[in-house]
Structure 1
Amino acid sequence: MAKFLLSLHVLAAIVAIGPVTVAASMFPRRARAALEASGGATERAEAAASVKLLYRITQVYALLGIAVPVLGVGLAQVMGVMGSAWLITSLVLTSIAALVLLVLVLPRQEAVVAALAGEEGADAAQAAGGLKLLAMSTGIFSLLWAVVTVLMVVRPGSSTGA
């Protein structure tokens, strides 16, 4: 059972966390380009469409990413390592990454998409002003997942010698 859960956990991490990390990281640069686009209507529409797609990828794969800690906790229970410091640290970092995504990344992405769509109440200048914080937030999100990945591989104090 442990091997099956480990396989699902790793597969979910690759399939869900990879795309959300890449899409979120690409978003600020593409958003800046779209907000500053001075070309024709077609160029602006294409830029806005790519930003909207990155936002949608971030949303969908973030939702799919919930499977990663759920499967991880199930695996930890089967392996009997729920009290391990490396696992608790990983769960805390995963929770922080989720909060960064939900509180800092997705709302700012949504504001940019709304500004590009010309929605009422959406301010393009304000959305552009938040791109530095958005870039920083996505960097923190990526760094947190990198640390969790290292903890999953190294597992300090593990008896496997890894």
Structure 2
Amino acid sequence: MPQPDGGEVTRSNSGTAERTDLQKAAMAVGAVFLLVGVLGFIPGITSNYGDMSFAGHHSEAKLLGIFQVSVLHNIVHLLFGAAGIAMARQARTAYLYLVGGGVIYLVLWLYGLVIGKESSANFVPVNNADNWLHLLLGLGMIAAGVLLSRRAAAATGTTR
């Protein structure tokens, strides 16, 4: 059945709509962010858990002993994950989540490069491991959004 965004929705044998690969990708990214947000609040998975602050570079907590986190950082992951799951309901919003979220992560990568790690501007907080992860997430999300939307458009003979 044709959709306003040019994508196709197919019906399974049970009569329910099947998700496009674009929607599945947004759902998966959202689920991972939800998981990361929850894991950031679990002692043991997050090292130095007792030294976690609400925000700022003074938080010594590190998810998996690598990525600097704070309560605010974890809440942002939870909200970003929930947004991904909600936006995965439609192909158009799934595309916006992946590409827009990718742009946000590239901006966070740039932010992490230019701020002083010990300055009050590092309120999220981020460290070098976070910066590399933000770069990879940004590029990966944008690539997934663009490539999966092009593949869907090619399959249906439509253009964006």
* TM tier relative to shorter chain: 0.3 to 0.5
State the structure with bigger RCO (CA 8 A, min sep 6), 1 or 2.
1
Give the helix-richer structure, 1 or 2.
1
Q: TM-score, normalised by structure 2?
A: 0.37
Q: TM-score, normalised by structure 1?
A: 0.36
